[in-house]
């Protein structure tokens, strides 16, 4: 009888520990870029989160055994909050690409066009759709999504379940949003400079030859200049984004993505 009770207690603690791990992993993958997109089937996300949770169960079984003995709703909610926070860090970096793409489209005369985007149900600017899909594809091709999974694993070393929430890290989220916005301005800077010079030239032509239909003549040239600038600056945009991604993602949970 005692052996049966002990086995039942061990099974209960194992189930509680598994769902504690699943709460953090699942909430991270639900919003992280590449994993939490609308075109990814919820069943695939669920199976991926369950698989990763199962892989983490045995390494974390003994370090987190004391938490499984006294579970509470607050611990589960804390795990969900930590997971959402880490997923939003990655999501904001991708939103910086969408913001930069919207600015590029505006400077290139394509701001009135809205393309279907699998990332955003309401549609997106042409350049924004291209940049976000390209960077997410390169992220998976370069195995950079492993940094997201590494961040989840390292978070257990820095913030165990049941411990106080890392409020200092949460408070730095506003600074992270500011850095992502600065990144979007840096990516769109070449378009801003070239188009300002182009508009200055168009304005001078309009003053010299007032009878010329400057708008209809300049619009095709503006679009072609935007496409040319995209082709020229795409390698630099890619390098700048992934340098930012490698050097700043999970700044509080992972000391060095390459380490």
Percent of the chain with pLDDT over 90: 0
Q: Residue 115 — very low, low, confident or very high, per pLDDT cuts 50/70/90?
A: low
| 153: Cα within 13 Å, side-chain hemisphere | 13
The secondary structure of 36-55, three-state, reads CCCCCCHHHHHHHHHHHHHH
CB 229 within 8 A of CB 194: yes
| pLDDT tens profile 188-198 | 888 888 888 88
Phi, psi of 38 (to 5 degrees): -70, -25
Residue 70 is predicted with a pLDDT of: 67
| Region 56-78 average pLDDT | 75
Q: Residue 258 — very low, low, confident or very high, per pLDDT cuts 50/70/90?
A: very low
Phi, psi of 61 (to 5 degrees): -65, -50
Among 31-35, 83-87, 172-176, 246-250, the minimum mean pLDDT is found in 246-250
How far is CA 159 from its chain centroid? 21
How far apart are the C-alpha atoms of 9 and 247, rounded to whole Å?
A: 44
212 or 241, which is more confident?
241
The residues that bridge with 124 in the sheet, in sequence order, are: 115
| pLDDT tens profile 33-61 | 778 777 778 888 888 888 988 888 888 77
Length of the chain: 259
Mean pLDDT (the chain) is 78
Residue 112 is predicted with a pLDDT of: 62
- Listed by start position, the domains of the chain span 2-248
Among 25-34, 88-97, 115-124, the minimum mean pLDDT is found in 115-124
| 29: Cα within 13 Å, side-chain hemisphere | 26
Among 5-19, 120-134, 145-159, 228-242, the minimum mean pLDDT is found in 5-19
pTM attached to this predicted model: 0.76
For CA atoms 92, 93, 99, 102, the dihedral sign is negative
């Amino acid at each position: 009888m005692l052996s049966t009770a002990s086995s039942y207690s061990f099974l209960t603690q194992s189930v509680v520990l598994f769902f504690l791990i699943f709460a953090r992993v699942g909430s991270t993958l639900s919003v992280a870029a590449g994993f939490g997109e609308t075109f990814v089937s919820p069943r695939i996300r669920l199976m991926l989160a369950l698989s990763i949770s199962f892989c983490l169960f045995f390494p974390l079984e003994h370090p987190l055994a004391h938490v499984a003995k006294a579970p509470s709703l607050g611990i589960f909610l804390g795990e969900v909050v930590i997971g959402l926070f880490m997923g939003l860090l990655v999501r904001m970096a991708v939103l910086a690409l969408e913001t930069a793409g919207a600015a590029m489209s505006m400077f290139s005369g394509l701001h009135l066009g809205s393309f279907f985007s699998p990332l955003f149900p309401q549609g997106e600017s042409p350049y924004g759709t291209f940049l976000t899909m390209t960077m997410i594809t390169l992220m998976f091709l370069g195995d950079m999504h492993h940094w997201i999974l590494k961040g989840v694993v390292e978070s257990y070393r820095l913030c165990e379940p049941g411990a106080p929430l890392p409020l200092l890290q949460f408070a730095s989220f506003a600074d992270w949003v500011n850095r992502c916005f600065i990144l979007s301005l840096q990516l769109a800077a070449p378009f801003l400079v070239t188009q300002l010079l182009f508009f200055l030239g168009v304005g001078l032509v309009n003053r010299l030859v007032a009878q010329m239909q400057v708008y209809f003549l300049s619009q095709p040239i503006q679009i072609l200049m935007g496409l040319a600038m995209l082709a020229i600056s795409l390698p630099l945009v890619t390098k700048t984004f992934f340098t930012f991604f490698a050097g700043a993602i999970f700044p509080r949970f992972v000391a060095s993505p390459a380490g």
